[in-house]
């Protein structure tokens, strides 16, 4: 199966939120619609959606960003029936290409502890455990 990628458009919102929910990426403390709105104000060209060639259906989505020091990928999701099809790999290659073009020297991402299948996916792409602890602090609550 062949796939396309393109930057997110506002009319993709419902499909992207549904995909993220279906893939278990949405948490009660993160409003995905607010996250989408925030991303649209910062490097919107690094918010990608994907689909199968010949359709307009969004079956993959993810956000990337670059702060001048590190790149990040967040909310990468592929419709469960298409996981293992190469779509996630295609999206990561496109994120890496876009970030490299911006001069990004290193790409980081976070995977929830215990999600061995997704960790294995990223390891197959050459990502390794940086032996770090991820800490966070909410500055603006979504609730």
Q: What is the 3-state secondary structure (H, E, C) of 69-89?
A: CCEEEEEEEECHHHCCCCHHH
Whether the full predicted model's pTM is greater than 0.95, yes or no, is no
Given this model, what pLDDT does residue 19 score?
Answer: 98
Q: At what angle do helices 32-39 and 13-22 cross, to 10 degrees?
A: 130
Among 114, 122, 69, 52, CA closest to 93: 122
CATH topology of domain 3-124: Aminopeptidase (3.40.630)
Given this model, what pLDDT does residue 143 score?
Answer: 72
DSSP E strands, 3-46:
3-7
Rounded distance, CA 132 to CA 129, Å?
Answer: 8
Give the chain's mean pLDDT.
95
pLDDT tens per residue across span 64-89: 999 999 999 999 999 999 999 999 99
pLDDT tens per residue across span 113-125: 888 999 999 999 9
Domain ranges of the chain: 3-124
| DSSP β-ladder status, 71-78 and 107-109 | parallel
Instruction: Answer whether residue 62 shows pLDDT above 90.
Output: yes
């Amino acid at each position: 199966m062949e796939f396309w990628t393109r930057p997110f458009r506002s009319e993709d919102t419902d499909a992207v939120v549904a995909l993220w929910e279906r893939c278990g990426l949405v948490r009660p403390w993160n409003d995905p619609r607010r996250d989408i709105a925030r991303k649209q104000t910062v490097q919107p060209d690094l918010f990608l959606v994907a689909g199968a060639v010949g359709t307009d259906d969004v079956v993959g989505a993810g956000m990337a960003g670059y702060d001048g020091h590190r790149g990040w990928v967040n909310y990468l999701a592929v419709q469960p029936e298409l996981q293992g099809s190469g779509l996630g790999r295609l999206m990561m290659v496109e994120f890496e290409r876009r970030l490299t073009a911006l001069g990004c020297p290193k790409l980081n991402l976070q995977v929830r502890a215990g999600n061995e299948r997704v960790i294995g996916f990223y390891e197959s792409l050459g990502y390794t455990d940086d032996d770090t602890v991820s800490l966070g602090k909410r500055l603006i609550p979504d609730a």
